[in-house]
Structure 1
Amino acid sequence: METTKTPADAHDSAFPLIISVDDHTVEPPDVWRDRLPRRHRDTGPRIVRAPLKEMTFLGGRFKPVMGDLGDEGPLGDWWVYEDLRRPLTRLDTAVGYDRDEIRLEVITYEQMRPGSYDVGHRLADMDVNHVQSALCFPTFPRFCGQTFTEAADRDLALLCVRAYNDWMVEEWCGPEAHGRLIPLTLIPLWDAGLAAAEVRRNAERGVRAVAFSEIPPHLGLPSVHTDDWDPFLAACAETGTVVAMHIGSSSRMPSTSKDAPPAVGSTITFANCCFSMVDWLMSGKFERFPGLKVMYAEGQIGWIPYILERADVVWEENRGWGGVAGKVHRPPSELFAEHVYGCFFDDAFGLRNLDAIGAGNVLYETDYPHSDSTWPKSREIGEAQMGHLAPDVVERIVRGNAIGLLGLTDDGLWPGGAR
């Protein structure tokens, strides 16, 4: 395995050790098998090796079809849960492959980089990439737990959410990680009261980040303009738990047509973040819950200045008939500065316009192990794109803002795992 400076000696570098606020874990096969009650072992999420019959990814929709054993087709490992058949794919774990070698294909655990699912190998790959600590979004549950929200058996789904969170806190971010992996937990999105209870349960063990949908109505859930989410939002505000929204957490990637190739959606992935941020800024929630913080993972930041400018103009000139006069009492740009964080891994344009965003509202990420990831050159890319910034500003973006937002130690570690 390639080696480079480890966190012990990397402080010699002029570029700060990275705290990535958007990486991913590919869940090991035993996450639910080992944690669900025995009666659910055969009905909860489990891995089956089977051939691929067909698979398409068009118009922002991913449609794989699993074959039967004995059928022709490439073998892959599939998550099986109720009627869902979801394969592991090369896009789930593409680091280490040349960009032109990456295809939409099914794979097995043996065919992926071990750092995708194994803590020890993950830390080694973080060392290679000048990364000290990382917060990881899920794979099989999808970015905010949509898999369980769509399940027919809600009692089992709730057990699955809790089992995932226990694995995330106790094992993925457990003693072996030495505080370098930062927990991100899920909630039962179908019940705001249960969601609030799960936020508080995890906050008691030091968790300060929870996944949520960028546009809940796309999942058949209430919008943030309703009061339905208030119990959940109150729990987040009271416990200092940041609401983390990843691109695609509405199960609908931006696209233009049913036959648009994935390259179209990949170019405009920021769009849902843009729509979502305007929702939040015009919802009145930040004024009702002053302690609330939200972050947009993998949304990049270059689009933010114009949206803030436009939102301020609309609020100033049209709030009388725009439906926000009674609930949004300050310019949206002010609310953004106090409550919203944009996350990026490759956005030279956004960094050139940092003054219009705010150095305190920007976080760095590496997107390991996805195909967009800057691994193993996140440091080099950061140095190239932030070279015009003062060292103290770089420090804030690369690690300081994340330390404050996620309740990490001054050294950049998760306190619950640094013991």
Structure 2
Amino acid sequence: METKESKESPRAFPRIISVDDHTVEPPNVWQDRLPAKYRDVGPRVVRAPLKEMTFLGGKFAPVMGAPGDDGPIGDWWVYEDLHRPLTRLDTAVGYDRDEIKLEVITYEQMREGSYDVPARLADMDVNHVQSALCFPTFPRFCGQTFTEAKDRDLGLLGVRAYNDWMVDEWCGPLAQGRLIPLTLVPLWDAELAAAEVRRNAARGVRAVAFSEIPPHLGLPSVHGDDWDPFFRACDETGTVIAMHIGSSSRMPSTSADAPPAVGSTITFANCCFSMVDWLMSGKFERFPNLKIMYAEGQIGWIPYILERADVVWEENRGWGGVADKVRKPPSEYFADHVYGCFFDDAFGLKNLDAIGVGNVLYETDYPHSDSTWPKSREVGEAQMGHLDADVVDRIVRRNAIDLLGLTDDGLWAGE
């Protein structure tokens, strides 16, 4: 509990608004919301043994056993041909780092704040967090689960059901405005995606998940016109496009047998590639109100990429295919449209002037294994101690308030 003295201190660390936390969906999300004819084929949870599981070369490969088989028991999401277990990496907070392993778990074995709103708020209080934007788990970071499904009608209903749960229940009255909605779109149809953006914007949603590199999902790149209906809807409604590491279903790695530690070290790479795509796409010229953010990408890599992009634009734009659509240095588009998100990046904070104070957002990554919970305040104080109090306030709170249309108190007000 904060004391009166700490609240009055000019160096008191601000209450955190985390722009990248995660929710583990309760088992009833789709069962409660899909039409009755789809409940036996829509997403549902079963308890079953694990036959085998690997995570090499950036690829996660679990195999579910049959009832009665030997093996550790876990809760599995089942949907069409997909069998996806809950794992300790989905919800690792509260465990010692060396105890966190790639293993299947049940809901009873995870921290309750992973899926329960009151318990989440309690864990946010412990971590000095006021408000949080949460990415999905079962749908994956931008709804790839539904994009890859065979039945498009059911997939669209699945996306809408998730969004209704996110807005009405996860961010509903129990959340007291402290949970900020992040919705999904049907990525297979840009017109349907635009309609879903507008449907949710009408009820106060200001953030939508998208893929960092859509071609990795078999979808069009940002360089063509295919996505324009979706981008236009975001531009016109003030909806931020939020891209999480891994939202292309491909974590960066170097070889098929590279251990997960390799990919974990270079997780920022896809964000880096994605940002260059956007800066050289011309989309920020066509959609001047569009904003994008990179969740869990960290920020230390950004200054060099901006420097290099400006050099390429200045020296090579004539033959580089961007002279007619990128009309000013890429770094200027970055300043007006792009936000980097971090939770532990001392190097980036030492180079903040080269990134821009207004382009940086803070996060805690609860309940994942990388999370700074329950010491996000202490980590922030240690890494931001050299910054002025108003700069810290912008990074930890104000930038998120402005970007996501929150109240001055840092809460989501809904419609």
Normalising by structure 1, we get a TM-score of 0.97
Q: CA shift at 1:176, angstroms?
A: 0.1
User: 1:388 matched to which residue of 2?
Assistant: 386
Cα deviation digits, residues 67-124 of structure 1 (max 9, x gap): 0010000000000000000000000000000000000000000000000000000000
Q: In the alignment, what sits opposite 1:183?
A: 181
Q: Sort the Cα spacing of 1:124 and 1:233 in 2 relative to 1 into closer, same or farther, 3 A.
A: same
The residue number in structure 2 matching 1:349 is 347
* AA partner of residue 115 (structure 1): G
Residue of structure 2 equivalent to 1:162: 160
Could you give the per-residue CA deviations for residues 356-396 of structure 1, whole angstroms, max 9, x where no partner exists?
Answer: 00000000000000000000000000000000000000000
Instruction: Find the residue that maps to 2:328 and give its secondary structure.
Output: coil
Q: d(CA) in 1 for partners of 2:7 and 2:225?
A: 47
- Alpha-carbon displacement from aligned partner over 1:297-334 (angstroms, at most 9, x marks no partner): 00000000000000000000000000000000010000
Query: Would you identify which runs of 4 or more consecutive aligned residues in structure 1 move more than 3 Å?
Result: 8-13
The reply to whether residue 216 of structure 1 matches residue 214 of structure 2 is yes
* 8 Å contact kept, 1:54–1:65: yes
Separation in structure 2 between the aligned mates of residue 102 and residue 384 of structure 1, nearest angstrom: 25
Task: Measure how far apart 1:236 and its partner are.
Answer: 0.2
1:5, distance to aligned residue in structure 2 (A): 4.4
SS in 2 for 1:402: helix
Q: Out of 302, 305, 315, which is 1:304 matched to?
A: 302
Where do 1:82-231 residues align within 5 Å? 82-231=80-229
1:53–1:66 contact (8 Å) kept in structure 2: yes
- The answer to whether the Cα contact below 8 Å between 1:312 and 1:332 also exists between their aligned partners in 2 is yes
d(CA) in 2 for partners of 1:402, 1:236: 17
Aligned residue for 1:400, secondary structure, equals helix
Is 1:339 the equivalent of 2:334? no
Unaligned runs of 5+ in 2: none
User: Structure 1 residue 267 and structure 2 residue 250: aligned?
Assistant: no
Q: What is the CA–CA distance in structure 2 between the aligned matches of 1:382 and 1:333, rounded to whole Å?
A: 27
1:398 is matched with: 396
The residue aligned with 1:295 is 293
Q: Does 1:77 align with 2:72?
A: no
- Within 2, Cα distance between the matches of 1:213 and 1:123? 28
**What residue identity is the alignment partner of 1:321?**
W
Alpha-carbon distance between aligned partners in 2 of 1:153 and 1:321, rounded to the nearest angstrom: 43
Give the Cα separation in 1 of the matches to 2:7 and 2:370. Answer: 27
> Which residue, 12, 20, 23 being the options, matches 2:21?
23
Contact 1:49 1:78 in 2 (8 A): yes
C-alpha distance in 1 between matches for 2:101 and 2:333: 41
When the two structures are aligned, how many residues end up with a matched partner?
Answer: 413
Distance in 2 (alpha carbons) for counterparts of 1:130 and 1:122: 12
User: Residue 357 of structure 2 corresponds to which residue in structure 1?
Assistant: 359
- Aligned residue number for residue 67 of structure 1: 65
Q: Note if contact 1:10-1:17 (Cα within 8 Å) is conserved in structure 2.
A: no
Which residue number in structure 2 is paired with residue 248 of structure 1?
A: 246
- Structure 2 residue matching 1:71: 3-state secondary structure: coil
Secondary structure of the corresponding residue to residue 31 of structure 1: coil
TM-superposed deviation, 1:416: 1.3
CA distance in 1, matches of 2:6, 2:41: 46
Q: Distance in 1 between matches of 2:73 and 2:20?
A: 29
Report the secondary structure of 1:415's partner residue: coil
1:51 is matched with which residue? Answer: 49
Q: Displacement of 1:10 after TM fit?
A: 7.7
Seq. identity, %:
86
- Residue 224 of structure 1: SS of its match in structure 2? coil
Gaps of 5+ in 1: none
Q: Distance in 2 between matches of 1:72 and 1:396?
A: 53
Q: Distance in 2 between matches of 1:255 and 1:103?
A: 19
Residue type at the aligned position of 1:119: V
Cα distance in 2 for residues equivalent to 1:310 and 1:415: 40
Q: Would the alpha carbon gap of residues 169 and 261 (structure 1) be closer, same or farther in structure 2, given more than 3 Å must change?
A: same
After superposition, give the CA deviation of every residue in 1:165-206 in whole Å (9 maximum; x if it has no partner).
000000000000000000000000000000000000000000
Alignment TM-score, normalising by the size of structure 2: 0.98
- The separation in 2 between residues aligned to 1:273 and 1:88, in whole angstroms, is 26
* Secondary structure of residue in 1 paired with 2:89: helix
* Residue identity in the other structure for 2:369: S
**Distance in 1 between the 2:18 and 2:183 partners?**
16
CA separation of 1:159/1:12 partners in 2, compared to 1, >3 Å: closer, same or farther? Answer: farther
2:412 is aligned to 414
- Partner Cα distance (1:399, 1:201) in 2: 27
For 1:276, the equivalent position in structure 2 comes to 274
* Cα RMSD after superposing both structures: 1.2
Q: Distance in 1 between matches of 2:149 and 2:7?
A: 46
- Whether contact under 8 Å (1:5, 1:130) holds in the other structure is no
Following superposition, the deviation at residue 9 of structure 1 comes to: 10
SS of residue paired to 2:185:
coil
Shift of 1:224: 0.1
2:325 aligns to what SS in structure 1?
coil
Shift of 1:133: 0.0
